[in-house]
């Protein structure tokens, strides 16, 4: 009994402490959120990785090809504000973080560190950007899946085993001191080399954890249920990080070349229905093999 009481008191003290260690005050503007997740310091010491990442789709995950920006805009206009009649949203000012999680759960997980005002600012910028406003697009470009998203926020999954990611820590493959002014320690993430790191956003199917489940990327589902059971033993990192942090998909010619092997076997011959009446005929056997670790195309 005495021990139990002690444990309860300890919990009450410990909870607020970890909350302070892990959390910041929430960002109230896009600029504040961009500053909270600022990675400009990384460039000085990890220049090559930074350049690769900067060119990746991760770096501009609110704009994309730019289909993402346009689709977020229509999700807000036609979905949240219109067809999802029970969302409680009529105008931009009614939008809350929870509404934008329909897309930002994966396209910008750091939205969890922002207020509803930022969710509204992003919704408006996507609509304006899709309508051709370059300033709005430039605003969205300040945010994306960056070094801190993968090396801190998403670096620990099993929170009852590993705890919450700590402030000021960069998670990679080793432990020790780190020369960055803000992220002064390195810790080992148990999943940095595992497909599950990527699976957090690359989708299993409908996102049932959301109030209004959406479905976008689903290839982690086919990786788990088709590729692995068929004997596939490569991780996402092994197939997608040979160009480092650029992480190419089908738009990269070198990656696309690896996607499918096609073998064609053709034999030409003459078929003779009756004497003197020959018909040229061909037999063509085409074999196509998907070499990706999942269904293609995705989504």
Considering only residues 222 to 251 of the shown chain, the ones binding ligand HEC according to CB under 6 A are 223, 234, 236-237, 239-241, 245, 247-251
Q: Is 36 a residue that touches ligand HEC (CB under 6 A)?
A: no
The rounded distance, in Å, linking the Cα atoms of 103 and 223 is 22
Query: Mask 1-20, x = binds ligand HEC (CB under 6 A)?
Result: --------------------
The rounded distance, in Å, linking the Cα atoms of 10 and 5 is 9
- Nearest distance in Å: CB 93, ligand HEC: 20
| Residue partners of 121: CB distance under 8 A and separation at least 6 | 29, 30, 139
Total site size for ligand HEC, rule CB under 6 A: 83
- Closer CB to ligand HEC, 257 or 278, in the complex: 257
Q: Is 119 a residue that touches ligand HEC (CB under 6 A)?
A: no
Contacts 24+ apart (CB under 8 A), 117-124: 117/28, 117/29, 118/27, 118/28, 118/29, 118/30, 118/32, 118/33, 119/95, 120/92, 120/93, 120/95, 121/29, 121/30, 122/30, 122/62, 122/72, 123/72, 123/76, 123/80, 123/92, 123/95, 124/92
- Which 77-116 residues touch ligand HEC, going by CB under 6 A? 102-103, 105-107, 109
Q: Is 45 a residue that touches ligand HEC (CB under 6 A)?
A: yes
The rounded distance, in Å, linking the Cα atoms of 72 and 125 is 10
The structure tokens 């589902």 sit at 221
Q: Among 145, 156, 165, 169, which residue sits at the site for ligand HEC (rule: CB under 6 A)?
A: 145
- Closer CB to ligand HEC, 53 or 115, in the complex: 53
- Closer CB to ligand HEC, 46 or 77, in the complex: 46
Q: Is 143 a residue that touches ligand HEC (CB under 6 A)?
A: no
- Nearest distance in Å: CB 284, ligand HEC: 24
- Which 253-292 residues touch ligand HEC, going by CB under 6 A? 255-256, 258-259, 291-292
The rounded distance, in Å, linking the Cα atoms of 22 and 197 is 20
């Amino acid at each position: 009994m005495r021990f139990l009481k002690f444990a309860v008191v300890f919990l009450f003290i410990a909870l607020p402490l970890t909350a302070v260690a892990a959390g910041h005050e929430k960002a109230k503007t896009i600029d504040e959120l961009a500053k909270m997740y600022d990675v400009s310091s990384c460039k000085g010491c990890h220049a090559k990785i930074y350049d690769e990442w900067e060119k990746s789709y991760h770096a501009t995950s609110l704009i994309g090809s730019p289909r993402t920006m346009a689709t977020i805009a229509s999700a807000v206009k036609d979905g949240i504000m219109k067809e999802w009649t029970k969302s409680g949203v009529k105008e931009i000012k009614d939008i809350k973080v929870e509404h934008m999680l329909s897309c930002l759960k994966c396209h910008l997980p750091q939205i969890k560190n922002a207020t509803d005002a930022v969710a509204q600012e992003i919704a408006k910028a996507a609509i304006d950007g899709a309508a051709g406003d370059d300033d709005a697009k430039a605003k969205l470009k300040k945010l994306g899946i960056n070094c801190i998203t993968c090396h801190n926020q998403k670096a620990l999954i099993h929170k009852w085993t590993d705890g919450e990611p700590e402030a000021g820590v960069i998670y990679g493959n080793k432990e020790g001191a780190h020369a960055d002014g803000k992220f002064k320690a390195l810790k080992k993430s148990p999943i940095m080399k595992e497909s599950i790191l990527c699976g957090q956003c690359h989708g299993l199917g409908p996102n049932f954890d959301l109030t209004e489940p959406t479905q976008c990327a689903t290839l982690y589902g086919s990786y788990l249920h088709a590729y692995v059971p068929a004997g596939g033993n490569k991780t996402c990192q092994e197939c997608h990080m040979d160009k480092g942090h650029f992480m190419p998909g089908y738009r990269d010619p070198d990656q696309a070349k690896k996607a499918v092997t096609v073998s064609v076997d053709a034999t030409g011959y003459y078929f003779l229905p009756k004497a003197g009446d020959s018909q040229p005929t061909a037999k063509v056997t085409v074999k196509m093999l998907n070499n990706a670790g999942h269904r293609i195309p995705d989504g």
